[in-house]
Amino acid sequence: MSQVSPQAREFANRLAELAPDPRSPRDSGNRAALAALRRGLGKSLGEDFEAYRYVGRILVASRRQDEEARYLVATLFALHPVSWTDDPAAPRRTNLGASFRVLASQTEAERADSRSIERRFVALLNCHADDLATHLRHAVSLLKSQNVPIDWAQLLEDVRGWSRWGERIRSEWARAYWGAAEIADGATPDTPSGDEQDNGDNRNVN
């Protein structure tokens, strides 16, 4: 799996600060910031700058392409602010394919649902970069329906690299879904993490 930069982890950690703390029932998180980000779903960064009132410092990057990736991931996070746990005894953080593996395992008893999930996942793998945001929005909504965690830092790296490294990213997601179920099954939800770096052209593979 591609390594995730410290900057991407920092970005996701900053997003996590907006989310309700699951350990504290009275903590509702930064509802204004999350609501502003959710209103950006389906929009490009140039269409809606309201979120900058709350999270401008974590959205700003050195390149426009990176800012757009951060904005997309931040709006998706606001829709479903649940991340892979930091518990070292739990499965390691991994990509969106592993999250879909968890989703599929939770619906195995309903075969029709499992088939529908797989079709949605295949459509995501096959989508063009121009349609990625739309497919990701549907994917995150599905994961939200079963409270399935997402590694937001990894997703940021993958969104940034989709146009240039899409084939590699698709392969990693496919392996996590069909070939590495043991990584995903039993994942525990918590709250998000991480930030991202400019050198998306130099992806490292374990």
Residues 6 or more apart whose Cβ sits within 8 Å of residue 83: 12, 16, 149, 150, 151, 152, 189, 190, 191, 192, 193
Residues 6 or more apart whose Cβ sits within 8 Å of residue 55: 14, 15, 18, 33, 36, 37, 74
User: Which pLDDT does position 109 carry in this prediction?
Assistant: 63
User: Which pLDDT does position 132 carry in this prediction?
Assistant: 96
Instruction: Give residue-wise pLDDT tens across range 47-91.
Output: 888 888 888 989 988 888 899 999 999 999 999 999 887 555 555
Residue 10 has pLDDT above 60, yes or no: yes
Q: What pTM value is reported for the model?
A: 0.81
Residue 55 CA to residue 64 CA, distance in Å, equals 16
User: Which pLDDT does position 115 carry in this prediction?
Assistant: 84
Q: What is the mean pLDDT of the chain?
A: 82
Q: Give the C-alpha distances (Å, rounded to integers) separating 65 from 102, 111, 170, 196, 201.
A: 30, 40, 20, 12, 12
Residue 123 CA to residue 145 CA, distance in Å, equals 19
Q: Which CATH class is domain 6-195?
A: mainly alpha
